[in-house]
Amino acid sequence: MYKTPDGKEIFVLDGHTHFWDGSPENQSNVHGKQFIDCFYAYHTNLSPPEHLWEKARFEKYSEDDIYRDLFVDGPDDMAIIQTTVLRDFYKNGFGCLERSTDMARRHPERFIVNGSFDPRDGEKALEYIHYMKENFDIQGVKMYTAEWNGGSKGWALNDPAAYKCFELCEKLGIKNIHVHKGPTIIPLSKDAFSVDDVDYAATDFQNLNWIVEHCGLPRLDDFCWIAVQETNVYAGLAVALPFIHARPRYFAEVIAELLFWVGEDKILFGSDYAIWTPGWLVDKFWNFQIPDDIAQERGVQLTDEIKEKILGLNAARLYGIDVEAKKKQLSGAPVQIAAE
CATH number for the domain harbouring residue 279: 3.20.20.140
Predicted local confidence at residue 336, as pLDDT: 61
Residue 340 lies in a domain: no
Residue 196 lies in a domain: yes
Residue 63, CA atoms < 13 Å, CB-side half-sphere: 14
Predicted local confidence at residue 333, as pLDDT: 74
Give yes or no for a contact between 178 and 211, defined as CB atoms under 8 angstroms apart. Answer: yes
The tally of domains found in the chain comes to: 1
CA–CA gap between residue 205 and residue 121 (Å, rounded)? 21
Predicted local confidence at residue 234, as pLDDT: 98
CA–CA gap between residue 266 and residue 157 (Å, rounded)? 20
Residue 93 zone, left/alpha/beta (φ > 0; ψ -120 to 50; rest): left
Task: Check whether the bond before 108 is cis (ω within 30° of 0).
Answer: no
Residue 337 lies in a domain: no
**pTM score of the predicted model:** 0.96
Angstrom distances, CA of residue 300 to CA of 55, 144, 181, 252 = 40, 32, 25, 11
In the chain, which residues have pLDDT < 70? 336-340
Domain that holds residue 12: 2-331
Residue 219 lies in a domain: yes
